[in-house]
Amino acid sequence: MPSVRKLSALALVVLGVSAVAPGGVPASAQPRAAKPATTPTVASKPRTVTLLTGDTVHLSTVDGQTAVDVVPGKGRERIPFITHSAGEDVRVIPADAVGLLNRGKLDERLFDLSTLVRFGYDDTRASLPLIVQHGGATPAGLAGARTTRELTGASAVAESRADAVSFWNSLTAASGTERQLRPGFDKIWLDGLRQPSLDVSVPLTGAPQAWQAGWTGTGVKVGVIDTGVDQTHPDLTGRVAAAENFTADPDALDRVGHGTHVASTIAGGGDASQGRYKGMAPGASLYSAKVCVQEGCPESAILAGMTWVAQQGVKVANMSLGGPDSAGTDPIEAALADLTHRYGVLFVVAAGNDGAGGESTVDSPGSVDEALTVGAVTKTGELAEFSSRGPRAGDAGIKPDITAPGVGIVAARSSTSDLWPDDENPQYTSMNGTSMATPHVAGAAAILTQQHPDWAPERIKSTLMSAAQPNTAIGVYEQGAGFLDVARAIQQTVTASPVGVAFERTTAAQTRTVTYANSGTSARTLAVALDAKDADGAPAPAGLFSLSASSVTVPAGGTATVTVTAQAGANLPDRYFGGELTATGGGTQVQTPVALDIARRQLTLKLIGPDGGAPRADQGWVTVLTDLDRQTLLVLDDPTVATHRVRAGRYLVQTYLQTGDPNGPQITSLVRPSLDLSRDQALTVDTRLAKPIAVSVPNPKATAVFQESGWTIRTEQPQIWGSNDPYGVLMNVPFDHVRTAQIGSGKTPGFVSYVNGMWGQVAQDGSLHNSPYVYRVYFYEPEKMMNGLTRKLRAGDFATVRSRISADVADVPVARLAVAHAPNNSPISRSNDGRQTPPSFTYDVPNTITEYYNQDKKAVWQSTSAQQGYTYYQSPWTSYKPGRTYTVKWANGVIGPVFPEPNFGQQFATRYWGDTMGGPGPLHGDGAGHMGFRHIVGGSVQVDLYRNGVKIGDANQTPWTWDVPAAKGDYRLAATFRSDPAFTLSTVVDAEWTFKSGHVPDGDLVKLPMTAIRYTPELDIDNKAPAGRLFALPISLDRQVGAAPGRTTSLTVEASFDDGRTWRKLSVLRSGEKAVAWVHNPAGTGFVSLRSAAKDTSGNTVKQTVIRAYRY
């Protein structure tokens, strides 16, 4: 079976470069719980990451959607890029690294932007930490790098960000259209970070019974690979035989507190609590390898620490740390297996704290067969919500192996940490996590090792698992063999191997043999039974599992076997099944977890290259299966492997092929929009069927500055903010380098393919500043993949849009951006069908600019105008008619509250869902009705929420969110924004709304019944009105779209000519939701401020004040 990388992903994007250069930490002490509902976010802080190859990636997230901008390194300007996006996760892979990745020569995390940022490996750090596996070569000869630590068969290396291109060129060499590692180098890994994942808990495991029998772990060496150990703590004084520091810290002190807590759970004496918080094996000797600091655990440090403890002769090593697992073997996993066999060390590893994420969340290196992997339960035996679950990624193996208490564990508190002291005894602290469960099992292993010093690690593991106590309410992929029982383990003479039995899902019968070994002096007759259930706890269908015998007799010093058969059948529901194979008799009970994988189907891909031949491993093939039912990606590693077993379901299949020179490749993209894999399928992917894309504009002098082709598919209703629809895009690869086709025939509802381009005049400095024209082009094909596209556009194919743009602040250019998508392609608007932000044309303002838009079928366009760091405006989605001319005003007065259009999306609207109110507050739209906002920097904002006259919430930033009582109440929302001194108009905007609101069902969203008073006077491009004359103020009373209807019953308007110190009431003529007020502007020069109030038929009110609304 080929290697398959599973990504919790929703997208694949292939990026190129524009023809124009634009101007494990310890398993956490507290569980990594599922993210709660978050405040709607306008934008997150941009991050910049320089890749291994020297290319720079700029990341920005707007409302949950990540935009990616790639700037190639020097000399790499023509390299395309492949990007996988998965919600918050983004991977950017240079095309010249694809072959090395497919051949397993580069760590995938080197191009995982989300992981790099999460580790703190963005460009705020001067170097990228790597692990270079090598044979005859050494990293000393590589440009732009320095060796920080020597490891077995590898070196820890720091790659200079500034010299990353030189490093890449010295590490790799061109070989045809691919690059190869230079001789002597085997693989390049990211030196990543892993995360650190008793008075009641220790007795629950049966440890006191072991102590009474004389087994306390005395004489056993136990490694603690963690954050260090506080050797001055009374519980640990004299118990640490040796300590080494493998981090960048100057000493081995435990400043985090995690390692001290773990060490005392293993072997603490309980001295500071009169024995109350004694550890599992108080007689054991501890060997502390400090590999973790506050920020995490560098993998090179972990490797060094693992090797050191093994060399000290430890027999048990606790690793309460881990990181995300994937199919394949990483250096830490390989080291764990090697050290287990070479030194006889049993590594006891935390399963991880990602259980809220569901199945297949067990961390690495706990996923390794040799590891004894520990899940967490409460002190009453229920599975901890945070405890990571199986099955193991890649092969559905059973993990975790065993469980132990991991909730509310009180143990020693490091005196050099900031951990909160226990209320009863400040020498201790309470923590949650599989990190806390793991040392219980490590201590139990030390007890068994004292009792049986000649036993190998696998026998210790087998005995602990065989003696475990399963909870019938918990599945095998959650608890393995069950809850730790050291009291039974020290008496156990019968064990089972293998320690777990996992079956693949096939219709043919499968058998596995379980062997029982008896180390006792008398034979044991055991009744054997298997109680199997599905993932929901319902009994498994009759006949799914069967046993060759209902009982076995295991002779003294001998073995006996039982055969387990799984017969899935064709109609078995697609879910996991499993249970405990239990052998009981004569006081003996032996547990073996048994599981059956979910349904998988065989997909056979026949890939045909442009020459009609089969693919080669050194070619740039990438095939991605998008699971449309579960919204995940499967990336197929090796194009030469034809057969793949995947979970049954509905898939989108996409294959890319890169041919030609890697500096100017031709890319072929073939897509099967929907493939039913409820049964085995064979698919032929023939690149010869693809046709070219050729699009041109009428101005021969125009330069193409942005070109993309791609697809998107609507799969389900998206979340409240942002869309989660899968998509795939070839970005900025010149159209004449792209060929596309659909695999097979037929139409797929919800699927759209498209091409998108932009042309303009490039300035002499290479920027897109003050271009006299811009052509924006978008074509789409609903329900099928484009089979190429040829369009030679004429002037009459475009609508002309003249945008009159005013200046909110002086001497700051405006950036103009426009994007398009097919109608109804996404129920909630997104930035565009792709995820890379197109380049912006910039202009000095005030200015009137000319843009040309084509119109394909019912496509819609959305444009934005922004003065970076100050303002942002966004239009509703709009269609144009070719041949027509449109005039649009931007940043025209009066700047004030504007609610978004219905197709703008939910994310910017004030709203109420469940028992929470939230929103950013729409205080800075323009007179044309463009929703917008101003940046707070240099200004201030204050938002207050009152209920029944009592303030219940306040915030000095946006967006804001507050929990509110469920009962219906009278609310008043008041917001004031004082702008940066750079603004001369709308310097203060104050708005106050009153309304009634009550509880709505969870998941529902109700727009609040609010109205914005929008002024639309005829001002010039400088937002100036004539002085010394009567001036009309047209007014629009804009109800928030989607809110309960209401008619305006009253409106008053006042004006001030002294910045709000005094006010004059204006005459107002109103008709429905439109009105006009009349103001006599004084002679000379100055500013007019406006104050207004309105009420509707439901009693909802609004008051607005705009200081310096316009000038005269």
The single-letter code of the amino acid at 183 is: P
Coil, strand or helix at 1093: strand
Q: Out of 258, 737, 930, 935, pick the active-site residue.
A: 258
- 3-class secondary structure, 441: helix
- SS3 call for 902: helix
**Residue 708 · residue 834 · CB < 8 Å:** yes
Omega cis (within 30) before 400: yes
- For residues 168 and 76, the answer to whether their CB atoms sit within 8 Å is no
Do 1029 and 1081 contact (CB within 8 A), yes or no? Answer: yes
Instruction: Establish how many alpha carbons lie within 13 A of residue 923's alpha carbon, considering only the half-sphere containing its beta carbon.
Output: 33
Tokens 């005894």 label which residue? Answer: 425
Whether 740 contacts 755, CB under 8 Å: no
What is the 3-class SS of 170-195, one letter each residue? HHEEEECCEEEECCCEEEEEECCEEE
Please compute, for residue 949, the number of CA atoms within 13 A of its CA located in the half-sphere on the CB side: 0
Catalytic residue among 18, 28, 201, 435: 435
Half-sphere exposure of 305 (CA within 13 A, CB side): 32
Radius of gyration of the chain (CA): 33
Q: How many helices (H) and strands (E) does the chain have?
A: 12, 71
Token pair recorded at residue 526: 């055991």
**Cα separation, 438 vs 403, whole angstroms:** 8
Distance CA 406, CA 351 (A): 11
* Residue among 316, 77, 323, 306 nearest 195 (CA): 323
Q: Is 258 among the catalytic positions? A: yes
Q: Which residues contact 213 (CB under 8 A, 6 or more apart)?
A: 490
CA angle 217, 222, 227 (to 5 degrees): 135
**Number of residues that make up the chain:** 1112
Active site residue 226: yes
Residue 256 backbone phi and psi in degrees, to 5: -90, -40
Region at 241 (left for phi over 0; alpha for psi -120 to 50; beta for the rest): alpha
Report cis status (omega within 30 of 0) of the bond before 365. yes
Q: Which of 63, 107, 226, 637 is catalytic?
A: 226
How far is residue 759 CA from its own chain's centroid?
34
Half-sphere exposure of 517 (CA within 13 A, CB side): 10
Three-point CA angle 27, 30, 31, nearest 5°: 70
- Displacement of CA 791 from its chain's centroid (Å): 38
How many angstroms separate the CA atoms of 75 and 824, rounded? 42
Q: Where are the beta strands (DSSP E) in 16-171?
A: 47-50, 56-62, 65-71, 81-86, 89-94, 127-134, 145-151, 154-160
List all residues 6 or more positions away from 764 whose beta carbon is below 8 Å from its beta carbon: none
Q: Which residues are catalytically annotated?
A: 226, 258, 435
